[in-house]
Amino acid sequence: MQRYNAFNMIHKALRHMLYDTALTLQQTWFADIKEAETAIEKTEAVIHIFERHAHHEDTYVLPAVEKYNAALVASFEAEHKKDLGLGNLLKNLINIYRNVNFEEERINAGSALTKAFIDFMVFNLEHMGKEEILINKVLWEHYTDEQLLDISQQIAASIPPEELAFASKWMIRSINNKEAIGWLSQVKATAPPFVLQSILTEAVNTLPSERVEKIQEGIAA
C-alpha cells in the first residue's frame, strides 16, 4: 500500500519554482534593470518560500522524527542552517545588483546571482530528495497515515492565507491529474467555495485545457 507522503505536493511546487526561476535568470539580460527586476522578484519569492518551508519542517515535522532518530534530525537542522546561508548570499547579491551604477557591474552582479542560485537550487533538490527518503522512512515506521495527515493539517492551519494561496498556485501547476483531483476533492469538502474556485482559476490560466477538463470531471464525480 502506498503511504501518505506529506512532502509530495509541496516539494513538487518548490521544484517547479526552482526550475522556473533558474530559467528566468539564465534568460535575463542584467544590463536591463526592468528585465532584471522580474528575475530578482522571482528569486526573492523562492528564498522566502524556502525559508518558510524550513520553518514549518523544523516546527512540525522534525520534532515527530527526533524522538526516534535524534541524529537524523540534527543532520537536517544543520542542512537547514546551510540553506539559510545560501539564501542570505542570494539576498546580498541582489542588494549588490540594486546598488551598482554601470552596465558592466550589473552584468557581473547578475552573473554572480545566477551562479549562486544554481548552487541554491542544487542543494535544495538534493535536500528534498533526502527528506523524502530518510525522513519518510522514520515517519512511516512510527506513525499511521492519519497521524501524518494530522501533522500536515497542523502546518496548513499555521500558514497565513496569502502564503497558502501562493503555495496552492504553484502546487496546481506542478502535480499530476490524479493528485490534483484528490487534493481539490478534499478542498471542495472542507474549505469555503472561493478557495476551490481560486485554485481552479489558476488551473484554467496555466494548464492545458484537456487537463483542466479531466480535473473538473474528477472532482465533480
> What long-range pairs does 162-167 form, CB within 8 A, spacing at least 24?
163/49, 163/52, 165/198, 166/45, 166/49, 167/10, 167/13, 167/49
Residue 75 reports pLDDT greater than 80: yes
User: What mean pLDDT, rounded, does the chain reach?
Assistant: 96
Q: Which of 43, 148, 25, 213 is nearest to 200 (CA)?
A: 213
| CA 3 vs CA 7, 57, 140, 147: distances in Å | 12, 19, 7, 12
Best CA proximity match to 10, nearest among 59, 39, 18, 217: 18
Chain segment 133-159, per-residue pLDDT in tens: 999 999 999 999 999 999 999 999 999
pLDDT digits (tens, 9 = 90+) for 147-190: 999 999 999 999 999 999 999 999 999 999 999 999 999 999 98
- pLDDT category at 51 given cuts 50, 70, 90 is very high
The pLDDT score that the predictor gives to residue 109 is 98
Residue 16 scores a pLDDT above 90 = yes
What's at 146, amino acid-wise?
E
Just give the CATH number of 8-160: 1.20.120.520
Residue 96 has pLDDT above 80, yes or no: yes
